[in-house]
């Protein structure tokens, strides 16, 4: 199957101007100057993209794809994520996880949902574990899960500084992090430790202690929700200054909204290469609400519309930056020859028009195909 996208403004995420993009099955085969291709007899589908922009599909590294447990008992259980919600947020790759509820939600169900979404056209990964330590696993250890289970790329979301956590000790965290690290090395995967950071007194204190008392690489850790309150955010700024990854939660209204948080980081002269945003989609919010994946895309566009970031820089935070942390770059997170054909196509006002997942057209004219 050969598909030609003609005359489209390409952001890789850096802007490279107007190009013709040739998709061969699931890969980007060529990106050419407009009009260079003269022979069209072998092309199966030609799409005119005048006035449109192409970005890499978004990568969301924190998604409750089978829903969260809810904190108001059984009536507040959150449903599984819907395929359409993922696509209409421009997301083509995601990482599924468990949160506080590892009793009524299981890794087996998480794995099954990840496989289901993959069949539908979304690239999926998952973390072993949940809020609590000892971590729940599929094979008996975090390392074995990462090495032997195709979807598993790390441990998460492990809760620290939160009344809902298991209040892990430094010994607990060092053991889990070491298993995750060796699993990543032997399995050829990211081996990340994705950390839920709550509103507790210690903030990033335990993470800083881990780095002080071990030789584990700082790049292995991804603390998330770090814009949930000003005190934690200030800790995260210093952590980022040291070279650590930090992950903002989209749609934040109680803490620091993403566009404001990014502006504050820029004002302090910080490089954004270690900064990412995730949605926490279909997770439960303590006040009874539900996180939505659409907030991820909304925050990216708000960063552009509020003149916080240029389009290429705003999209880099949710594409290339995430792909590098998860060690799936340049397969994901970029538009270049040989990369997966995960392509988000918008109009000049960033309204989603088309989405390609692994070369398959999944959204056309702003509508999910088959819906």
271 burial (CB, 10 Å; 0-12 / 13-18 / 19+) is exposed
Q: Count CB-CB contacts under 10 A for residue 4.
A: 21
* End-to-end CA, the chain: 23
Which residue do the tokens 């574990």 mark? 129
Which residue do the tokens 């998480």 mark? 110
**What b/e sequence results for 134-144 when a residue is b if at least 16 CB atoms lie within 10 Å of its CB, and e otherwise?**
ebbbbeeebbb
Sign of the torsion angle spanned by Cα atoms 111, 116, 118, 119: positive
Distance of CA 56 to the CA centre of its chain: 12
162 burial (CB, 10 Å; 0-12 / 13-18 / 19+) is middle
Q: How far apart are CA 368 and CA 84, in angstroms?
A: 6
Which positions ≥6 away from 140 have C-beta within 8 Å?
none
Residues in the chain: 371
Q: How far apart are CA 341 and CA 123, in angstroms?
A: 11
Return phi, psi of residue 61, to 5°: -95, 10
Q: Which of 280, 299, 340, 342 is catalytic?
A: 280
For residue 224, which of 63, 114, 79 has the smallest C-alpha distance? 63
Return phi, psi of residue 263, to 5°: -60, -40
How big, in percent rounded to 5, are the helix, strand and coil portions of the chain?
30, 25, 45
51 burial (CB, 10 Å; 0-12 / 13-18 / 19+) is exposed
Annotated active-site residue 199? The verdict is: no
Residues labelled catalytic: 280
């Amino acid at each position: 199957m050969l598909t030609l996208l003609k005359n489209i403004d390409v952001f890789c995420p850096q802007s490279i101007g107007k190009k013709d993009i040739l998709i061969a099955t699931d890969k980007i085969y060529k990106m050419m100057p407009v009009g260079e291709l003269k022979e069209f007899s072998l092309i199966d589908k030609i799409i005119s993209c005048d006035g449109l922009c192409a970005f890499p599909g978004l990568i969301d590294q924190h998604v409750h794809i089978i829903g969260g447990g809810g904190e108001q008992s059984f009536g507040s259980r959150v449903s599984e994520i819907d395929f359409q919600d993922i696509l209409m947020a421009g997301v083509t790759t995601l990482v599924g996880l468990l949160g506080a509820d590892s009793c009524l939600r299981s890794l087996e169900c998480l794995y099954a949902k990840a496989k289901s979404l993959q069949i539908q056209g979304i690239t999926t990964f998952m973390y072993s574990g949940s809020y609590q330590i000892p971590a729940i696993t599929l094979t008996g250890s975090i390392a074995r899960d990462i090495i032997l289970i195709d979807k598993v790329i790390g441990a998460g979301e492990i809760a620290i500084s939160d009344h809902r956590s298991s209040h892990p000790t430094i010994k607990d965290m060092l053991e889990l992090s070491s298993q995750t690290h060796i699993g990543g090395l032997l399995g050829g995967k990211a081996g990340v430790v994705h950390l839920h950071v709550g509103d507790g007194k210690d903030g990033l204190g335990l993470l800083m202690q881990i780095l002080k008392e071990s030789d584990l690489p700082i790049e292995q850790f991804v603390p998330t929700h770090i814009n949930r309150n000003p005190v934690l955010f200030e800790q995260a700024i210093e952590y980022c200054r040291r070279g650590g990854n930090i992950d903002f939660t989209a749609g934040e209204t109680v803490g620091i909204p993403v566009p404001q948080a990014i502006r504050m980081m820029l004002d302090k002269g910080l490089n954004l290469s270690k900064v990412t945003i995730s949605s926490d989609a279909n997770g439960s919010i303590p006040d009874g609400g539900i996180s939505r994946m659409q907030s991820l895309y909304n925050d990216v566009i708000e960063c552009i519309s509020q003149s916080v970031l240029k389009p290429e820089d705003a999209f880099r935070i949710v594409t290339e930056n995430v792909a590098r942390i998860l060690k799936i770059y340049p397969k994901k997170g970029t538009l270049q020859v040989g990369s997966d054909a995960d392509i988000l196509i918008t109009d000049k006002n960033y309204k989603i028009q088309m989405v390609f997942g692994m070369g398959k057209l999944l959204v056309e004219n702003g509508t999910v195909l088959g819906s």
